[in-house]
Amino acid sequence: MAGHDVFKLIMIETTITIDGPAASGKTTVGYQLAEKLGYVFLDTGVMYRAVTLVTLNRDIDPNNEAAVVEIANNLQFDISPEVDHPDGRHYTVLVNGEDATWQIRSPGVNENVSVVSSYPAVRDEMVRLQREFAAGHAVVMVGRDIGTVVLPNAPLKFYMDATAEIRALRRLSDHLVRNYNSVEFEKILADIERRDAIDSSRAHSPLKPAEDAVVIDTSQLTPNGVLETMLESVEERGLPNLAA
Which one of 37, 113, 140, 151 is in contact with ligand DC (CB under 6 A)? 113
Q: CB within 8 A of 161, min separation 6: which ones? A: 20, 21, 24, 215, 216, 217, 218, 219
Give the residue with the Cβ less far from ligand DC, 147 or 240. Answer: 147
Pairwise CA distance, residues 201 & 199, whole Å: 6
Q: CB within 8 A of 240, min separation 6: which ones? A: 7, 8, 11, 14, 37, 138
Pairwise CA distance, residues 18 & 97, whole Å: 28
Under the binding rule (CB under 6 A), the answer on residue 145 touching ligand DC is yes
- Please state, as a whole number, how many other Cβ atoms lie within 10 Å of the Cβ of residue 158: 28
Q: CA 49 → CA 72, 108, 121, 230, distances in Å?
A: 11, 10, 15, 27
- Please state, as a whole number, how many other Cβ atoms lie within 10 Å of the Cβ of residue 21: 20
Under the binding rule (CB under 6 A), the answer on residue 44 touching ligand DC is yes
Which one of 45, 62, 147, 240 is in contact with ligand DC (CB under 6 A)? 45
Pairwise CA distance, residues 47 & 129, whole Å: 9
Identity of the amino acid at 117:
S
Per-residue interface string for the shown chain with ligand DC, residues 67-106, x marking contact by CB under 6 A:
----------------------------------------
Give the residue with the Cβ less far from ligand DC, 103 or 242. Answer: 103
Give the residue with the Cβ less far from ligand DC, 14 or 112. Answer: 112
Contacting range for ligand DC; rule: CB under 6 A; set: 45-53, 175-183, 213-221, 234-242? 45-53
Give the residue with the Cβ less far from ligand DC, 161 or 240. Answer: 161
CB of 179 to ligand DC, least distance (A): 19
Give the residue with the Cβ less far from ligand DC, 14 or 17. Answer: 17
Give the residue with the Cβ less far from ligand DC, 213 or 240. Answer: 213
Pairwise CA distance, residues 135 & 150, whole Å: 12
Under the binding rule (CB under 6 A), the answer on residue 199 touching ligand DC is yes
User: Distance between terminal CA atoms of the chain?
Assistant: 16
CB of 152 to ligand DC, least distance (A): 13
CB of 125 to ligand DC, least distance (A): 12
Q: Which residues bind ligand DC (CB under 6 A)?
A: 22, 44-45, 48-49, 113-114, 117, 143-146, 195, 199
